[in-house]
Amino acid sequence: MIRVIIRGINDLKLRTKLILSFIVVVFVPVMIVGLFLTNELRNQALQNALEQTAVNVDRVKKRTSEVINAAYDISYLLSNDSRLARLAATQYETVYDVVKAYKEYPDIREYINLYKEISNIRIYMNNPTLLDNWEFIQPDSEIMESSWYQSAMSSSGLIGWNYLRDERDGKEYLSLIRKIDFLEDRSSAVLVINVNSRMLDAILKQETFETMIVDEQNNIISSNRPGRVGRKLADLNLSKGIMDMQSGTYDAVVNEQSAKIRIETLVPLSSLNGIRILSVFSVANIVKDANEIIILASIVIFISLIVAIVLIYGFSALLTKRMLRLSKHISKVATGNFDVTLAIDGKDEIGQLSRQFNAMVWSINELLLEVKESNQQKTRLLSSQNEIKFKMLASQINPHFLFNALESIRMKAHIKGEKEIANVVRLLGRMMRKNLEAGSRAVTLKSEIEVVRCYLEIQKFRYEDRLNYELLIDPLTQQIQILPLIIQPLVENAVIHGLENSEYGGSVRVKAALINQWMHIEVSDDGEGMDEERLDFVLRTLEEQEGESEENNRIGLRNVHMRLQLSYGSEHGLAITSAPGCGTQVKFTIPIGGGLHV
């Protein structure tokens, strides 16, 4: 797929490539960055609006709480006023007595005059001897059957907040409703205190966003937008479900426009219910300024891109014109016309190509002359080459030449700083020299271990971290004479057959120990191992006397096994143990001080 894309790009004209590169390198990143910044700008504007709304609503909540707490304080005072209890419990005989009692109890009027947070106080009580004077009112059947009155009478003194109509002026107010118990005559009354609506309106008028105070029945008690007070939330075309939400921020649709609504619930002390403060702002109005900035930035970016495309088109025209001249002269040379000269001004790459083109044409002419002269010598060269080939086939590379060549390679790698390669070449040379020098005579265990170490280091260079090895050689065994090349084939077999097919590699361990005049040698690996059937096959192969195994990889093991038996006796052959997944162990013993059986 990638090759097809690269081939397609290579087939495009230079002008198309330049425009395409501009789109990929400039236009696409600018669009991505622009979309990202646009989204971040809008989100930042919304986040700031949400934070500001939360602060505003909290401020409104605190100020509203201060206003309605005045009504709560008055209700507390009146519910514990003994003079009010006596006034309510007395059965009056004449109107004069009633009027005199009212004059002797001016507290209600004083509260109204003293607290600007309230607009009216009235007490509904069942005492036929009292007169209605807008402060003390005899409740009729309609009032007594109303939900707010019945709720107050059954609330055991808890406060209720309702949006009620005041009989005196016919207006509706947020009202505190509370039952007052008179213990002397075991009677009760309902206290209603109107909260000053103008103070609530004054609090909301300072807010930027549309803010409302609603009661439990979703009546709009106060608002900083005209025409809202006295209506229901349902009249504002809010999203379904928003009207019943409590404290929090919610997405909504107001008048078919996306909006955010912040709701904060206010439940005063000792109250059955409370009120809610709603702040509504349109998302479109919040992001309006951000959208204007985005539009302006988009126009500037679009104009810049158009100008850039025009400039790139002009530059590409200059480049392609010069490249076409170069292409025409190359086509002439391709037809065999070597008498052309190209003249393109400039010191850029195209100008360099033109000068190199002229130099190439001159060189071709010189080469043609040389070819003509060389044709005359072709017969002599052919005969000389045949003779050289014959000598090369007849010659042999002697060991000294091979060692010298390896030493030269090692020194070359060392000089160039390739210490690892130089070390591997050195080990290979040492190993080959040891192998060539090996004969039938015995060598020390130390010399044999050097060959093993060289082999393992070379393999470790090949497998890197996939191969680890460990040489556990008892110092007392290093000078013991053994057959040459008796351990190295076992190590090679462990690396090739035990670890080479393992995905994660493994480790090889060579151990030599002196125990009771016997030297014990063990070569083990933690590779794939062999199952019982495979192990039986290998053991049978070791005992074959004639011919070779069908598998060439067993010749080394059989060779070592036979040499050990011929040299030290039949009981000194190889002992092999293995299990699948547990690796393979190859062991043999050599007597110390005993002669070879040869």
Q: What is the pLDDT of residue 346?
A: 66
Q: Is residue 392 part of a domain?
A: no
What is each CA distance from 429 to 55, 131, 410, 423, 436, in whole angstroms? 84, 130, 9, 10, 10
Mark whether 144 and 163 lie in a shared domain: yes
Mark whether 244 and 368 lie in a shared domain: no
Mark whether 96 and 169 lie in a shared domain: yes
Residues of the chain with confidence (pLDDT) below 50: 377, 380-405, 547-555, 597-598
Mark whether 321 and 465 lie in a shared domain: no
* Cα–Cα distance, 21 to 558 (Å, whole number): 68
Q: Last residue of a domain, which of 374, 389, 405?
A: 374
Q: Give the residue carrying structure tokens 């009692």.
A: 101
Q: Is residue 562 part of a domain?
A: yes
* Cα–Cα distance, 220 to 588 (Å, whole number): 102
Q: Is residue 424 part of a domain?
A: no
The helix/strand count (H/E) of the chain reads as: 19, 17
Rounded mean pLDDT of the chain?
78
Q: Last residue of a domain, which of 320, 354, 374?
A: 374
Q: Is residue 364 part of a domain?
A: yes
* Cα–Cα distance, 204 to 212 (Å, whole number): 7
Mark whether 366 and 502 lie in a shared domain: no
CATH number for the domain that contains residue 159: 3.30.450.20
What is each CA distance from 245 to 49, 128, 253, in whole angstroms? 20, 45, 14
Q: What is the pLDDT of residue 419?
A: 59
Mark whether 257 and 321 lie in a shared domain: no
Mark whether 260 and 346 lie in a shared domain: no
Q: Last residue of a domain, which of 374, 399, 414?
A: 374
Q: Is residue 419 part of a domain?
A: no
Q: Is residue 514 part of a domain?
A: yes
Per-residue DSSP letter, 232? B
Mark whether 170 and 317 lie in a shared domain: no
CATH number for the domain that contains residue 533: 3.30.565.10
Q: Is residue 23 part of a domain?
A: no
Mark whether 279 and 335 lie in a shared domain: no
Pairing of strands 257-266, 275-282: antiparallel
Mark whether 246 and 317 lie in a shared domain: no
Domain enclosing residue 552, as ranges: 457-591
Q: What is the pLDDT of residue 291?
A: 67
What is each CA distance from 129 to 90, 99, 167, 577, in whole angstroms? 8, 11, 21, 120
Mark whether 171 and 240 lie in a shared domain: yes
Q: Which pTM value belongs to this model?
A: 0.47
Q: What is the pLDDT of residue 412?
A: 55
Q: Is residue 527 part of a domain?
A: yes
* Cα–Cα distance, 215 to 164 (Å, whole number): 11
Helix residue ranges, H only, 123-227: 141-145, 147-153, 197-205
3-state percent breakdown (helix, strand, coil) of the chain, nearest 5 = 55, 20, 25
Q: What is the pLDDT of residue 377?
A: 45
Mark whether 101 and 231 lie in a shared domain: yes
Q: Count up the domains in the chain and report the number.
A: 3
